[in-house]
């Protein structure tokens, strides 16, 4: 298995299960509850908050990293300050900041963004990370994250809306369209494209569409509510795997409230019971909420946090930042050998200190130099050196790259080379170029260097499928673009454009490639991502012996698990799994489950009492990790006999 440098996959095969056929379900008495929404002083909310508080550790967390974010949102929704939540040590906010590096996926970034904003912190600079740009960096092919998933789009849009992103922006508008286009024929949504609908994901889709400005009377929202209504049980709750549970009830209540309806109204009452009645039936004597009575579920603190929001009549996002006043522009900074940074910033006024003289200048208007300062996050992201020795303010170096000879730092606005310094170029005012101004490009080179632009005819192709790259060069006289011959395009290796500025490329391996172009006398082009095949680099079964230096390699023991005999509605005993990092670098391990058993393992397998979908652990080189696998069998599972599935562990270089 040579040349495996990104991902190695380990299969844990032959998950076995033999079913019994005996099942007894006892009804739970429901007491009607009509006083909705509850307040934080009500016993039900106060006791739930006490449960969360009593489960906080001295490190500040409640139930671990992911659950702590949900708990933070619940605390804020209840009107309390998460900074004050301490158990004799760090606050829950301190804990999230200290462990911000544990966020590695779209849903991680979104959950952190939502929690950070709920705690009145800055999501662009929290724990040394910019979670807003991390989210935006996952935008591809008109959606956020994996094109086969929907839950990453739900939460990605939710996080960006919370951060003040305009619903009319490209990333929100296109991702919302992707969500709406993947509404199932039964009017519900699923966690994945083409997967079976469920109430939890449908409720989340309804919430995010409302947050993004969709009318509550639109077809998508109306049909989504109809699906949720179709899943309401006689006890007022909502069905999932054939029975109601606290998590599903909470999500459904959130969606009902999001569209302006009352979950205890006659429209949502069945047999004199409402969704709120059913949700409250899962509250335990200690104030917590179980997934189902007698079954704590994957995370009692998370279920409790979700119930708090639903009972308070609060929604996700808990808080939405007001869009900053000023100009939003896209900033790209191209250094001598690589891109230093790119992303959107909002520029208002700026205070810039000349490093040579120590004088601070107040720029009262949004300027190109102010955009550089915002891109650097006021020099927390990268440094820059400004001098006033030439009369105005000039960025002499960026990220430590100093001028040499005729080469130094230049800037362009919408690819045009302005006649004034960056400190004097005022967005929406200075000409040329004419407003509106959308992009500012800082680059290391000569003032005669011309911008390049790269585009592709396809952003996702199959392995071996041809795609075309076009490179254009900007004409400073005509202020227009023309095809660029003999430009070098960097993808899996180097390619050269022909007289038409194009090159056709075929790649025979799975991966997501970032391509760009360069040419002597020109400025490095923008980057474009192309997904080939699965978009993931090569994989290997754990049963194979792989030795690669440097490499990623994991081993999993045992290589099979027999969960024994189980009856629908029951959960197996825990089975231990050891994952050994045999490679030379730290890796982040995630899980995937497949089966041919009508979703038995896909829906019921838990790792460390959480769904396998949320499993994400970092293992240092030559270290190992212990995890516990359980199988929860749905009450309405109809299969009998021996069933088999496959648990797959993926490893990739830790960020």
- Asked whether residue 273 is domain-assigned, the answer is no
Q: Give the domain-ending residue among 449, 478, 504.
A: 449
pLDDT in tens, 404-440: 999 999 999 999 999 999 999 999 999 999 998 999 9
Residue with tokens 């619903």, as numbered in its chain? 167
Domains: count for the chain: 3
What would the two tokens of residue 124 be? 């662009």
Residue 613 has a CB neighbour count (10 Å cut-off) of 18
Pair (360, 409) in one structural domain: yes
Rounded Cα distance, 435 and 456, in Å = 27
Residues 547 and 558 in one domain: yes
**Do 602 and 557 fall within a single domain?**
yes
For 194-245, write each residue's pLDDT tens digit. 999 999 999 999 999 999 999 999 999 999 999 999 999 999 999 999 999 9
Interaxial angle between packed helices 300-312 and 246-258, expressed in degrees from 0 to 180 and rounded to the nearest 10: 30
Conformation bin of residue 445: beta by default, left when phi > 0, alpha when psi is -120 to 50 = left
For residue 436, say if its preceding peptide bond is cis, omega within 30 degrees of 0: yes
* Cβ proximity of 274 and 227 under 8 Å: no
Asked if residue 140 is part of any domain, the answer here is no
The answer to whether residues 552 and 516 belong to one domain is no
Which one, of 530, 535, 533, 531, lies nearest residue 456 by Cα?
530
Q: Is 138:187 a contact under the CB 8 Å cutoff?
A: no
pLDDT one-digit tens code per residue, 545-559: 544 444 678 889 998
Question: What DSSP letter does each residue of 496-551 carry, written as one string?
Answer: E--TTSEEEEE--S-EEEEEEEE-TTEEPPPPEEEEETTSS-----TTS----SS-
DSSP 8-state symbol, 224: H
What is the domain extent for residue 508?
A: 452-520
- Count CA within 13 A, CB hemisphere, residue 267: 11
Mean pLDDT, rounded, for 113-135: 95
| Cα 399-405-411 angle, rounded to 5 deg | 50
Angle at the Cα of 100 from the Cα atoms of 94 and 101, rounded to 5 degrees: 145
Residues linked to residue 546 through DSSP beta bridges, in sequence order: none
List, for residues 18-56, the tens digit of each pLDDT value: 322 222 222 333 344 558 999 999 999 999 999 999 999
Q: Determine the pLDDT at residue 331.
A: 94
Q: Looking at residue 644, which CATH number applies to its domain?
A: 2.60.40
**Dihedral angle sign, alpha carbons of residues 437, 321, 301, 23:** negative
Q: Is the pLDDT of residue 462 over 60?
A: yes
Asked whether residue 546 falls in the same domain as residue 635, the answer is: yes
Q: Which residues contact 25 (CB under 8 A, 6 or more apart)?
A: 243, 569, 635
* Three-class DSSP category at 110: helix
Residue 4 has pLDDT above 60, yes or no: no
How far is 59 from 548, CA to CA, in rounded Å?
A: 38
Inter-residue contact 22 to 567 (CB < 8 Å): yes
Q: What is the pLDDT of residue 545?
A: 52
pLDDT, tens digit, 9 for 90 and up, residues 262-309: 999 999 999 999 999 999 999 999 999 999 999 999 999 999 999 999
Q: Is 25 helix (H, G, I), strand (E, B) or coil?
A: coil
Residue 520, pLDDT above cutoff 50 = yes
Same domain, 343 and 434: yes
Please tell me whether residues 504 and 575 are part of one structural domain: no
588 neighbors 651 (Cβ within 8 angstroms): yes
pLDDT at 443 over 70: yes
In this structure, the answer to whether residues 429 and 502 fall within a common structural domain is: no
Does residue 73 sit within a domain? Answer: no
**CA-CA distance, 222 to 210, in Å (whole number)?**
11
User: Sign of the CA dihedral 479, 481, 483, 489?
Assistant: positive
Report if residue 440 sits inside a domain: yes
pLDDT at residue 325, as a whole number? 72
Q: How confident is the model at residue 2 (pLDDT cuts 50, 70, 90)?
A: very low
Q: Is the pTM of this model over 0.85?
A: no
Instruction: Give the pLDDT confidence of 346-357 residue by residue, as tens digits.
Output: 899 999 999 999
Domain end position, chosen among 428, 449, 470: 449
Examine residue 321 and state whether it is found in any structural domain, yes or no: no
Instruction: Collect all residues with Cβ–Cβ distance below 8 Å to 462 and sequence separation of at least 6.
Output: 532, 533
C-alpha to C-alpha distance for 200 and 198, rounded to whole angstroms: 6
230 vs 289: CA distance, rounded Å? 25
Stretch 116-143: mean pLDDT, rounded?
94
Task: Give the up-direction half-sphere exposure of residue 400: CA atoms within 13 A in the CB hemisphere.
Answer: 3
Pairwise CA distance, residues 23 & 632, whole Å: 14
- Say what the pLDDT of residue 431 is: 94
Give Cα separations from 7 to 587, 590, 653 (angstroms): 9, 11, 7
Residue 187, SS3 per DSSP: coil
Distance of CA 509 to the CA centre of its chain: 26
Q: What confidence score (pLDDT) does residue 209 get? A: 96
Residue 546 sits in the same domain as residue 626: yes
| Same domain, yes or no: 514 and 583 | no
Quick check: 500 and 430 in contact, CB under 8 A?
A: no
Q: Is 591 exposed, middle or buried (0-12, 13-18, 19+ CB in 10 A)?
A: buried
Side-chain-side CA neighbours of 223 within 13 Å: the count stands at: 14
Per-residue pLDDT at 380: 84
- State the Cα–Cα distance between residues 189 and 186, nearest whole angstrom: 9
Residue identified by tokens 């430009």 is: 487
Last residue of a domain, one of 434, 449, 464: 449
Q: What CA–CA distances, in Å, run from 283 to 222, 462, 486, 540?
A: 31, 50, 69, 45
> Average pLDDT, stretch 463-482?
95
**282 inside domain:** no
pLDDT at 6 over 60: no
**DSSP string for 616-644:** EEEE-TT-EEEEEEEEBPPTT----SEEE
Q: Is residue 62 part of a domain?
A: no
The answer for residues whose C-beta is within 8 angstroms of residue 615's C-beta and 6 or more apart is 589, 590, 591, 607, 608, 627
pLDDT of 34 reads 59
Please indicate, yes or no, whether residues 487 and 597 belong to a single structural domain of this protein: no
Q: Say if CB 224 and CB 206 are below 8 A apart.
A: yes
Average pLDDT, whole number, for the chain? 89
Distance (Å) of CA 111 to CA 154, 371, 449: 11, 28, 42
- Is position 354 within any domain? yes
Measured CA to CA, the distance from residue 389 to residue 624 in angstroms comes to: 57
Same structural domain, 377 and 354? yes
R_g over Cα of the chain: 27
3-state secondary structure of 87: coil
Name every residue whose Cβ is closer than 8 Å to that of residue 573 and which is 6 or more positions away in sequence: 564, 630
DSSP strand pairing (587-595 vs 339-347):
unpaired
Q: State the angle between helix axes of 151-162 and 170-181 in degrees (0 to 180), rounded to the nearest 10.
A: 150
CATH of the domain at 436: 2.170.130
**pLDDT value at 12 more than 90:** no
């Amino acid at each position: 298995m040579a040349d495996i440098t990104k991902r190695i996959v380990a299969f844990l095969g032959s998950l076995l299960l033999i079913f019994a056929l005996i099942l007894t379900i006892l009804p739970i008495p429901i007491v009607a509850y009509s006083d909705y929404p509850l307040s934080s002083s009500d016993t039900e909310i106060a006791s739930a908050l006490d449960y969360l508080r009593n489960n906080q550790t001295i490190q500040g967390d409640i139930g671990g990293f992911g659950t702590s974010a949900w708990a933070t949102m619940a605390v804020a929704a209840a009107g309390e300050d998460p900074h004050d939540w301490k158990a004799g040590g760090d606050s829950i906010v301190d804990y999230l900041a200290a462990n911000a590096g544990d966020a590695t996926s779209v849903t991680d970034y979104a959950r952190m963004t939502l929690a950070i904003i709920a705690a009145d912190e800055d999501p662009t600079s929290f724990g040394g990370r910019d979670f807003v740009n991390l989210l935006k960096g996952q935008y591809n092919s008109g959606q956020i994250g994996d094109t086969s998933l929907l839950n990453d789009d739900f939460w990605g849009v939710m996080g960006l809306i919370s951060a003040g992103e305009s619903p009319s922006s490209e990333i929100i508008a296109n991702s919302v369209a992707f969500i709406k286009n993947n509404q199932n024929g039964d009017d519900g949504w699923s966690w994945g494209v083409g997967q079976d609908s469920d109430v939890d994901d449908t409720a989340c889709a309804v919430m995010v569409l409302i947050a993004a400005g969709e009318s509550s009377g639109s077809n998508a929202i109306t049909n989504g509510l109809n699906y949720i209504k179709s899943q309401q049980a006689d006890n007022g709750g909502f069905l999932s795997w054939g029975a109601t549970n606290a998590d599903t009830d909470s999500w459904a209540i959130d969606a009902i409230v999001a569209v302006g309806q009352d979950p205890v109204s006659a429209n949502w009452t069945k047999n004199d019971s409402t969704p709120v009645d059913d949700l409250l039936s899962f509250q335990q004597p200690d104030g917590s909420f179980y997934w189902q009575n007698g079954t704590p579920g994957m995370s009692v603190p998370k279920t409790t946090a979700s119930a708090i929001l639903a009972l308070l009549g609060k929604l996700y996002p808990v808080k939405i930042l007001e869009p900053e006043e000023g100009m939003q522009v896209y900033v790209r900074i191209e250094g001598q050998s690589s891109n230093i940074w790119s992303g959107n910033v909002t520029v208002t006024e700026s205070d810039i200190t000349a490093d040579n003289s120590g004088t601070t200048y107040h720029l009262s208007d949004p300027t190109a130099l102010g955009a550089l300062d915002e891109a650097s996050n006021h020099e927390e992201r990268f440094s820059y050196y400004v001098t006033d020795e030439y009369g105005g303010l000039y960025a002499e170096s960026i990220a430590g790259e100093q001028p040499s000879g005729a080469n130094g730092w230049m800037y362009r606005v919408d690819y045009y080379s302005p006649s004034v310094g960056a400190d004097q170029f005022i967005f929406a005012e200075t000409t040329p170029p004419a407003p509106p101004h959308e992009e500012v490009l800082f680059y290391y080179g000569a003032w005669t260097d011309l911008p390049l632009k790269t585009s592709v005819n396809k952003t996702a192709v199959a392995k071996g499928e041809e795609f075309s790259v076009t490179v254009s060069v900007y004409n400073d006289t005509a202020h227009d673009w023309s095809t660029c011959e003999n430009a070098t395009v960097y993808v899996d290796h180097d390619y050269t454009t022909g007289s038409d500025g194009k090159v056709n490329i075929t790649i025979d391996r799975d991966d997501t490639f970032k391509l760009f172009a360069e040419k002597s006398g020109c400025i490095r082009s923008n980057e474009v991502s192309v997904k080939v095949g699965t978009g993931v680099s090569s994989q290997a079964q754990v049963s194979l012996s792989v030795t690669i230096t440097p490499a990623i390699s994991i081993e999993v023991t045992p290589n099979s698990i027999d969960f024994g005999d189980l009856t629908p509605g029951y959960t197996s005993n825990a089975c231990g799994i050891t994952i050994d990092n045999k490679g030379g670098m730290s890796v982040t391990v995630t899980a995937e489950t497949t089966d041919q058993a009508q979703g038995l393992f896909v829906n019921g397998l838990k790792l460390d009492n959480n769904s396998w979908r949320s499993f994400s652990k970092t293992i240092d080189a030559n270290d190992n990790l212990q995890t516990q696998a359980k199988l929860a069998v749905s009450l309405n599972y109809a299969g009998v006999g021996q069933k088999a599935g496959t648990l797959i562990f993926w490893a990739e270089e830790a960020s």
